[in-house]
Structure 1
Amino acid sequence: MDEDVAVVIEDGEDIRELLAQVLTQGGFTVHVAADGVTGVELVREHDPIVVTVDVNMPGIDGFETARQVRAISTAYIVMITARGDEIDTLVGLQTGADDYIVKPFRPRELRARIEAMMRRPRVLASTHPSPPLPTGPAPTVAAESHPGPAAAAASAEAPAEQWSEVDAEFAPLEHRGLRLEPGARVVELEGSEVELTRSEFDILRMLLGSGRRVVSKMQLAGMLRGERGEPDHYLSEHDARAIEVHVANLRRKLGESPSEPRWIETVRGVGYRRTA
């Protein structure tokens, strides 16, 4: 089995070595670069599954580096920044980053974030992979042929609920001219495709699939980390800000005004829900 590959793009030697150590302990084959240009070439050469990018670097900064990486790779991108300013978060996520972490950070937190990202599909919403096929016996379709008794018995024993669950999981979601296809990870607005990041796609899917039920920022943050159910961790300021930025980017790409929402309503102090 091929080993997972990671690329670390960081100009600070101490942080670069720490990131490489954390990823190596996580089972990755790690390649490191001290600048953005070299880092992009490493991504092109090794096709990593994870890329960490420092925001403040000589030459091309982390934002431009992330843009160039995203143009050639579907790798998970984690921005590493020494600042917690909202503008850094906004720009970083707009470049296609999946997550960001503020220095100083704990190695355990970085590992947890990467593990959570890797539980999500490694594709962009603008790509068109075939939806996963259900496992188990194939359903019998009424036709002119007449199956024998053994085939008929096998068909009768096939669990119908298995198929209904698969159909429900990958059934398209539609709301006011917006169509989301979970299996293909495609979003279309009035027939035209909308390019979204993984996080934006997953947030939109959760909101559309929740009907009029309010989805909290904590639930959205937990979903992006791969948690099931209501997360029991504390929602940090950075977590809440990241969700707000993802939703702002999503609204911008859909052409929606927060004051006159067509698809996503803000429930102040709580989270978001689908419009009526």
Structure 2
Amino acid sequence: MEPGVAGDGTPDRRALVVEDDADIRSLIDLTLSAQGFVIRTAATGRDGLQLAREWEPDLITLDLGLPGIDGLEVCRRVREFSDAYLVVVSARQDEVDRLMALQTGADDFLVKPFSPRELQARVTAMFRRPRGAGEVATVTTAGSESSSVVLGGSAVPEGHEVLVHGPVGVDVDGRRAFVSDDEVELTRTEFDLLTHLMRTPARVWTREALLRTVWGNDWVGDAHLVEVHIGNLRRKLTQASGDKGLIHTVRGVGYRMGG
């Protein structure tokens, strides 16, 4: 099925299903088609990577045990050029596999056998996340208005919301994050977490509050996802700045911006 336009005039969402088991591939295809996605499928990691580059899907479901290039390597390579939502659907149940997938760039992990309704619920929650494109009339930096802001050596377009905390700067509408003048490549989930932390730098966010705010009120996952994605985000900010305290853990409570 080729991409087109939905009945309300909006472009169809695209989902790429990368799965070598024909029955499961068909099940995911039917499940996501019922949500209005245009589907393409691939049975190998190599074919999945090629389609991800050429077709630019909004969502990718990915098995780990693929022939040739395995799912973790596919995930890693996809994250070099795409910020599509990525859900690993795998028979592997070990915690280490889940952690490795999330650390490599997956947004969620679903264990086979899975409920089609649960997959639909998780995908719905993902696409309900606020993406940062809002009705912002002025550029805002650290709570004050400014006519021009420079991030990474370039002026941020007028009308974009900008958040600055210490060396970290975020162009919310442009979905770009910087440490000093260096841009930091973040996944969608990492970017959303950073944005929410920076909007209220003095607030301590509990894991449950971040789940509701970033993933959505109907999210059916667990708070452990927050710990993994915060860990990935903190690592990237630390590598760019040398400062381990840009995101502060409040023991027994949650997280806030450091400094």
Moved more, 100-109 or 21-30: 100-109
Residue 266 of structure 1: aligned partner: 249
Higher strand share: 2
Instruction: Give the 5 Å matches for 1:42-121.
Output: 42-120=51-129
Note the C-alpha offset of 1:121: 7.0
Instruction: Please say which structure displays the higher CA radius of gyration.
Output: 1
Note the C-alpha offset of 1:122: 7.5
Note the C-alpha offset of 1:83: 2.9
Return closer, same or farther for 1:270/1:6 CA change in 2, 3 Å cut-off.
same
Instruction: Give the 5 Å matches for 1:133-172.
Output: 171-172=161-162
Is the partner of 1:116 in helix, strand or coil? Answer: helix
CA distance in 2: counterparts of 1:36 and 1:220, whole angstroms: 32
Do residues 197 (structure 1) and 206 (structure 2) align? no
Higher helix share: 1
Residue 145 of structure 1: aligned partner: none
Note the C-alpha offset of 1:94: 3.1
Cα deviation, 1:43-89, whole Å, max 9, x if unaligned, reads 33433221100011221110111233333433221111223434323
Return closer, same or farther for 1:71/1:213 CA change in 2, 3 Å cut-off.
closer
Is the partner of 2:27 in helix, strand or coil? Answer: helix
Instruction: Give the 5 Å matches for 1:177-188.
Output: 177-188=167-178
Paired positions, count: 227
Cα deviation, 1:123-146, whole Å, max 9, x if unaligned, reads 9xxxxxxx66658xxxxxxxxxxx
Is the partner of 1:31 in helix, strand or coil? Answer: strand
The runs of 5 or more residues in structure 2 that have no matched partner are: 6-10, 138-158
CA distance in 1: counterparts of 2:196 and 2:127, whole angstroms: 18
Note the C-alpha offset of 1:226: 3.1
Report the aligned-residue RMSD: 2.8
Return closer, same or farther for 1:182/1:57 CA change in 2, 3 Å cut-off.
same
Is the partner of 1:88 in helix, strand or coil? Answer: helix
Letter in 1 for 2:50: E
The runs of 5 or more residues in structure 1 that have no matched partner are: 124-130, 136-168
Note the C-alpha offset of 1:120: 4.1
Is the partner of 1:255 in helix, strand or coil? Answer: helix
Contact 1:6/1:49 (<8 A) preserved: yes
Cα deviation, 1:125-178, whole Å, max 9, x if unaligned, reads xxxxxx66658xxxxxxxxxxxxxxxxxxxxxxxxxxxxxxxxx9542222221
Return closer, same or farther for 1:28/1:194 CA change in 2, 3 Å cut-off.
same
Do residues 208 (structure 1) and 191 (structure 2) align? no
Return closer, same or farther for 1:72/1:250 CA change in 2, 3 Å cut-off.
closer
Note the C-alpha offset of 1:240: 2.1
Q: Which of 195, 198, 217 is matched with 2:207 structurally? A: 217
What TM-score, normalized by structure 1, do the two folds share? Answer: 0.72
Is the partner of 1:59 in helix, strand or coil? Answer: coil
CA distance in 2: counterparts of 1:261 and 1:133, whole angstroms: 33
What TM-score, normalized by structure 2, do the two folds share? Answer: 0.76
Letter in 1 for 2:196: M
CA distance in 2: counterparts of 1:215 and 1:132, whole angstroms: 22
CA distance in 2: counterparts of 1:81 and 1:98, whole angstroms: 14
CA distance in 2: counterparts of 1:263 and 1:94, whole angstroms: 19
Return closer, same or farther for 1:134/1:251 CA change in 2, 3 Å cut-off.
closer
CA distance in 2: counterparts of 1:202 and 1:189, whole angstroms: 16
**What is the identity percentage for the equivalent residue pairs of Structure 1 and Structure 2?**
45
Residue 166 of structure 1: aligned partner: none
CA distance in 2: counterparts of 1:134 and 1:193, whole angstroms: 23
